[in-house]
Amino acid sequence: MHQFDVLIIGSGLAGLTLALKIADDKKVCLICKRGLHDASSNWAQGGIAAVLTDDDSVEAHILDTLIAGAGLCDGEVTRQVVEHAKKLVEWLIEQGVPFTREDDDSGYHLTREGGHSHRRIIHAADATGHAVQTTLAEKVRVHPNITLLEEHIAVDLITSRKIAPSEAEGNGVCLGAYVLDNHSGKVITISADHTVLATGGAGKVYLYTTNPDVSTGDGIAMAWRAGCRVANMEFIQFHPTCLYHPQAKSFLISEAVRGEGGILKLPDGTRFMLDHDPRGELAPRDIVARAIDFEMKKRGIECVYLDITHKPADFILSHFPTIYRRCMELGIDITRQPIPVVPAAHYSCGGVMTDHTGNTDLPRLYAVGETACTGLHGANRLASNSLLECMVFGQAVADAIKSAPDYQKHALPDWDESRVTDADEEIIITHNWNELRRFMWNYVGIVRTNKRLTRAMHRIHLLRDEVHEFYSNFRISNNLIELRNLLQVAELIVTSAMARHESRGLHYSKDYPETAEVAIPTVLEPSNYYSILDQHHGNGELAHEPTLP
């Protein structure tokens, strides 16, 4: 058994911020499934929203966030995040993050993104996440109080209820986690006074996503199995234009291409956006994504095309060098050929419910970043508020841990592999993963119907039964753990979507196209989950109460 003061599961901006904020006072273990840079934060192109100029205001940033959130933002949390933004951006500058400066070096260059009323996005060229991640990762690697375990994936949380069911009240408290070492294939036991879920989102539940491969909803699934509530899982943000190519691997085609005159076309060259919105290609992101989704489903096509070939080649090369270079690597000359694109799952606005300090329902367990549902994003995330939230709640959790009392140490049991054998057919995992991602894209994507959701839930439970049998009888692997978690998250997404009888923010239902007068969050609680499923499915066969530790 390994003993630490703080166990941080995940190495994105939320996890790195917390680690550096707490490591001078606590013994920290930071684990990540792959390398330290394999996190969604590293892929973030835009920047960090913060009020940094006199012509902007905290109140304006708050209002912009509330408008984007479509009535479901928590006002107090939104104020907390926005008011702390400037201080944490200054902290990043102190750490050495190379933000882009004005041409005359008079200050930092600020850009403006959709939904913002002012220029307030501080950035490092078009790769802000990479700049921030690289800077903080270097400091984490050399900090004497931080033990970094790469190629390690958390299997499940360890709770006092699991150790001594008769003595624990409710779900007990969190005591650490079981963690699979991908190098050795062995499961290790990590005991911690405080455990923090910073595992990112769940974009890999969909066929097309801008997320890295590690975004499999691990933290959400583990917290749910441990008895924590989750909220607003139906609100999945889709980016309209992701490069469609078998070797492209989640490459975004910036909205700036449309902003500079790019035209969306069908395979036969027909323009279609004006049939959906008078603003055409310059309509808001969710409208463009729904229009593309509609055309693909209606015509049975695999993608649409973004054409900017009518612009001079020099213009394209100077404005979009990164996109041009990446497309050329794949044999697409965007000065002569349209770009094949599809919408892609981009960000999960819901997650594990937390308070304003990052505490979950399970004592001594915290959630930060995209894993958490803090109340900031509501029904739709405002651009560039995600990296900001990571930092603000990383700081909040650090403060909460510092002020917490010391806890009694517990001897935790080792992982038991005495009744399992080596898997004989790993192809089952691959097949189920592919099936899940495809039907989630088709049935629980940008536009939803009751019929599609019911079909998706039926398939989820068929796959879940297969995976449960596999998990119970064979030694676990990284792929099996991720598939198990994705199926759990998929079930939560579908259940939440079924529960919302309206269209709001990122959730659009053809059966309920109107927006209700009162905005109510969707909160799922393990203890009454069966009744929720039964109520919204109207079909007892599909309702299975989850097994808690």
CB 526 within 8 A of CB 491: no
**How far is 106 from 104, CA to CA, in rounded Å?**
5
Structure token pair of residue 496: 């939440």
Q: Which residue has the tokens 């463009």?
A: 288
Structure token pair of residue 2: 């390994």
Cβ atoms < 10 Å from Cβ of 76:
10
Strands (DSSP E) contained in 165-317 are 174-181, 187-197, 230-231, 236-243, 263-265, 304-307
Q: How far is CA 229 from the centre of its chain?
A: 17
Strands (DSSP E) contained in 295-410 are 304-307, 339-348, 351-353, 365-367, 372-373
Q: Phi and psi dihedrals of 435, rounded to 5?
A: -65, -45
Structure token pair of residue 460: 């989820």
User: Facing residues of 149 across strands?
Assistant: 31
173: amino acid identity, one letter: V
Q: Phi and psi dihedrals of 155, rounded to 5?
A: -95, -50
Which of the residues 258, 285, 290, 364 is marked catalytic?
285
- For helices 529-537 and 478-499, give the axis angle rounded to 10 degrees: 60
CB 547 within 8 A of CB 225: yes
Would you call 285 a catalytic residue per the annotation? yes
Indicate the DSSP class of residue 285: H
**How far is 47 from 103, CA to CA, in rounded Å?**
18
Q: Where are the alpha helices (DSSP H) in 227-302?
A: 255-259, 285-299
Identify which of 134, 69, 97, 90 has the alpha carbon closest to the alpha carbon of residue 385: 69
Q: How far is CA 129 from CA 20, 146, 365, 377, in A?
A: 17, 22, 26, 19
Longest dimension (CA), the chain: 73
User: Facing residues of 195 across strands?
Assistant: 7, 365
**How far is 15 from 4, CA to CA, in rounded Å?**
16
R_g of the chain computed on alpha carbons: 23
Alpha carbon distance, N-terminus to C-terminus of the chain: 20
Structure token pair of residue 525: 């609680």
Q: Which residue has the tokens 């009751």?
A: 450
CB 488 within 8 A of CB 221: yes
In order, the DSSP letters of 396-442 are HHHHHHHHSPP----PPPPP--TT-B--S-THHHHHHHHHHHHHHHH
Structure token pair of residue 146: 């931080």
Sign, CA torsion 11/14/20/26: negative
* Catalytic residue ranges: 285
